[in-house]
Chains A and B, each alone.
Chain A
Amino acid sequence: MPRQSRTWSFAIWEWGRKMNGKPVVVMCNHASCTGSAFDIARLAGAIAKSGIIDRLVTLDDACHASPGALTGIRKKKVIFAGCPILKENGFYEEAARRLVIEKTDWVAINLSTDVLDLYEESDGIEQRLCAILESAGQILSRTQPVTRETIVASSRVLLYGSGLSGLSAALGLAAEGIPVHLIESGGSSVSPGCLGEILREPDLMEGLRERARRNDRIRFLGSGSLMAPIPTDGGFNYRAENGEVREYGSIVFAPERQEEPPRDMGAFTLTQLYAHLRTGKTVGGQVVFLLDRDGETEPEIFRDVLLGACRLVEKAHARVLVLTKNARVTLPGTQELYDECRELGVVFVKYRDEVSVRSEDGDFTIAGIDDHTSAGFIVEKPKILVLPGRTKLASKALEFARSLGLRLFDDHYTQPDSLWRLPNETNRPGVFAAGAARGNMAFEGIREDVASLADAIRQRTSARGIRIEEHIPVVNKEKCAYCLTCVRVCPFGAMTKDPVQRVAKVLSSACKACGVCAAECPAQAIDLRNLGSAQVRAGIETLVR
Chain B
Amino acid sequence: METHSVCVIGAGITGMTVANNLARAGVKVSLVDRNPYPGGQAIFYGCKAADSCVHCGVCLVQDAVRELRENPLASCYFAASPISLQRSQSNGYRVELDTTPNPIDWRSCTECGRCRTACPHDAVQQTPGWKYFVSSRCTSCGDCVGACPVGAIRLDRGPETLQIDVEGIVVAAGFHPFDPSANRKWGYGKSPRVMTGSEMERLFSAETYLPQDSQRIAFIQCVGSRDMREGEPHCSRACCAFALRMANRIATEFPDTHIDVYYMDIQHFGKNFDVFLNELRGKVSFLRANPICVKTTGTGSPVLRYESLPELRCEEASYDLVVLANGMSPSESSDELADIFGLDLDAQGYLRSPMHAFSTAPEQGIFVAGSCRRPMLIEESVEDASAVSHMVLRHLGVGT
Could you list which residues of chain A lie within 8 angstroms of chain B, going by C-beta atoms?
Answer: 34-35, 37-38, 61, 63-68, 71, 82-85, 168, 171-172, 176-177, 295-299, 325-330, 332, 334-335, 350, 371-375, 413, 415-419, 421-423, 439, 447-452, 454-456, 458-459, 462
Given the contacts A295-B274, A350-B288, A82 and B393 also touching, CB distance less than 8 Å: no
Assess whether B118 is interfacial by the CB under 8 Å rule: no
Could you list which residues of chain B lie within 8 angstroms of chain A, going by C-beta atoms?
Answer: 20-21, 24-25, 47, 49-53, 55, 57-60, 62-64, 66-67, 129, 207, 226, 233-235, 237, 249, 253, 265-274, 277, 288, 309-310, 356-358, 374, 377, 379-380, 382-384, 386-391, 393-394, 399-400
Contact A64 B49 (CB under 8 A): yes
Chain A nearest Cβ from B365, distance in angstroms: 16
Give Cα distance in the complex from A336 to B290, angstroms.
Answer: 21
A415 partner residues in chain B, CB cutoff 8 A: 271
Contact B233 A451 (CB under 8 A): no
A373 partner residues in chain B, CB cutoff 8 A: 309-310
A64 partner residues in chain B, CB cutoff 8 A: 47, 49, 53, 59
Chain B nearest Cβ from A257, distance in angstroms: 13
Give Cα distance in the complex from A198 to B92, angstroms.
Answer: 40
Q: Which of B273, B309, B383 is in CB contact (< 8 Å) with A421? A: B383
Give Cα distance in the complex from A82 to B53, angstroms.
Answer: 17
B58 partner residues in chain A, CB cutoff 8 A: 63
Contact B235 A329 (CB under 8 A): yes
Given the contacts A422-B383, A450-B357, A335 and B53 also touching, CB distance less than 8 Å: no
Given the contacts A296-B277, A454-B390, A328 and B265 also touching, CB distance less than 8 Å: yes
Contact B374 A422 (CB under 8 A): no
Give Cα distance in the complex from A74 to B274, angstroms.
Answer: 32
Q: Which of A34, A172, A330 is in CB contact (< 8 Å) with B268? A: A330
Given the contacts A84-B20, A299-B267, A451 and B49 also touching, CB distance less than 8 Å: no
Given the contacts A450-B357, A455-B387, A67 and B309 also touching, CB distance less than 8 Å: no
Question: Can you name 16 extra interface pairs (CB under 8 A) apart from A335-B233, A447-B358, A449-B357?
Answer: A38-B49, A64-B47, A64-B53, A65-B47, A82-B63, A172-B358, A297-B268, A330-B235, A335-B234, A373-B310, A417-B270, A421-B380, A447-B356, A447-B357, A451-B391, A462-B25
Q: Which of A417, A423, A458 is in CB contact (< 8 Å) with B399? A: A458
Contact B382 A422 (CB under 8 A): yes
Q: Nearest 10 CB-CB pairs, A to B?
A: A63-B59, A418-B270, A451-B387, A455-B390, A84-B67, A374-B310, A64-B53, A326-B265, A451-B357, A462-B399
Contact A66 B51 (CB under 8 A): yes
Chain A residue nearest to B53 (CB atoms) is: A64
B310 partner residues in chain A, CB cutoff 8 A: 372-375
Chain B nearest Cβ from A68, distance in angstroms: 7
Contact B20 A455 (CB under 8 A): no
Give Cα distance in the complex from A71 to B249, angstroms.
Answer: 14
Interface centre among A67, A71, A374 (most CB of B within 10 A): A67
B270 partner residues in chain A, CB cutoff 8 A: 417-419
Contact B309 A419 (CB under 8 A): no
Contact B53 A439 (CB under 8 A): no
Interface centre among A68, A334, A418, A447 (most CB of B within 10 A): A418
Give Cα distance in the complex from A37 to B47, angstroms.
Answer: 13
Given the contacts A84-B20, A299-B267, A418 and B356 also touching, CB distance less than 8 Å: no
A37 partner residues in chain B, CB cutoff 8 A: 53
Chain A nearest Cβ from B63, distance in angstroms: 5
B358 partner residues in chain A, CB cutoff 8 A: 168, 171-172, 447, 450
A419 partner residues in chain B, CB cutoff 8 A: 55, 57, 60, 270, 379
17 contacts between A and B (CB under 8 A): A34-B53, A64-B49, A65-B47, A299-B268, A326-B268, A327-B265, A335-B233, A375-B310, A413-B271, A418-B379, A422-B383, A422-B386, A447-B357, A447-B358, A449-B357, A458-B25, A462-B399
Contact B63 A68 (CB under 8 A): no
Given the contacts A296-B274, A451-B390, A452-B386, A329 and B400 also touching, CB distance less than 8 Å: no
Chain B residue nearest to A168 (CB atoms) is: B358
B60 partner residues in chain A, CB cutoff 8 A: 85, 419, 422
A65 partner residues in chain B, CB cutoff 8 A: 47, 49, 53
Chain B nearest Cβ from A463, distance in angstroms: 9
Chain B residue nearest to A444 (CB atoms) is: B356
Q: Which of A71, A85, A171, A418 is in CB contact (< 8 Å) with B55? A: A418
Give Cα distance in the complex from A171 to B273, angstroms.
Answer: 32
Give Cα distance in the complex from A37 to B62, angstroms.
Answer: 15
A350 partner residues in chain B, CB cutoff 8 A: 265, 288
Q: Which of A66, A335, A455 is in CB contact (< 8 Å) with B235? A: A335
Chain A nearest Cβ from B284, distance in angstroms: 15
A35 partner residues in chain B, CB cutoff 8 A: 52-53
Q: Which of B207, B267, B394 is in CB contact (< 8 Å) with A330? A: B267
A459 partner residues in chain B, CB cutoff 8 A: 24-25
B269 partner residues in chain A, CB cutoff 8 A: 330, 418
Q: Which of B59, B265, B386, B390 is in CB contact (< 8 Å) with A61? A: B59
Contact A326 B266 (CB under 8 A): yes
Chain B nearest Cβ from A251, distance in angstroms: 19
Given the contacts A63-B58, A350-B288, A328 and B389 also touching, CB distance less than 8 Å: no
Contact B267 A455 (CB under 8 A): no
Given the contacts A419-B57, A419-B379, A462-B25, A452 and B265 also touching, CB distance less than 8 Å: no
Contact A335 B271 (CB under 8 A): no
Give Cα distance in the complex from A330 to B129, angstroms.
Answer: 31
Give Cα distance in the complex from A111 to B105, angstroms.
Answer: 38
Contact A458 B400 (CB under 8 A): yes
Contact A296 B268 (CB under 8 A): yes
Chain B nearest Cβ from A13, distance in angstroms: 21
Give Cα distance in the complex from A70 to B63, angstroms.
Answer: 18
Q: Which of A172, A177, A372 is in CB contact (< 8 Å) with B288? A: A372
Give Cα distance in the complex from A185 to B99, angstroms.
Answer: 55
Give Cα distance in the complex from A456 to B399, angstroms.
Answer: 12
Give Cα distance in the complex from A295 to B278, angstroms.
Answer: 9
Contact A84 B64 (CB under 8 A): yes
B374 partner residues in chain A, CB cutoff 8 A: 332
Chain B residue nearest to A439 (CB atoms) is: B271
Chain B residue nearest to A300 (CB atoms) is: B268
Q: Which of A332, A418, A452 is in CB contact (< 8 Å) with B271? A: A418
A449 partner residues in chain B, CB cutoff 8 A: 357, 383, 387
Contact B288 A38 (CB under 8 A): no
Chain B nearest Cβ from A429, distance in angstroms: 16
Given the contacts A67-B249, A68-B253, A329 and B51 also touching, CB distance less than 8 Å: no
Contact A328 B268 (CB under 8 A): yes
Q: Which of A67, A326, A335, A421 is in CB contact (< 8 Å) with B379? A: A421
A61 partner residues in chain B, CB cutoff 8 A: 59, 62-63, 66
B52 partner residues in chain A, CB cutoff 8 A: 35, 38, 66
Chain B nearest Cβ from A296, distance in angstroms: 5
A296 partner residues in chain B, CB cutoff 8 A: 268, 273-274, 277
B207 partner residues in chain A, CB cutoff 8 A: 67, 71
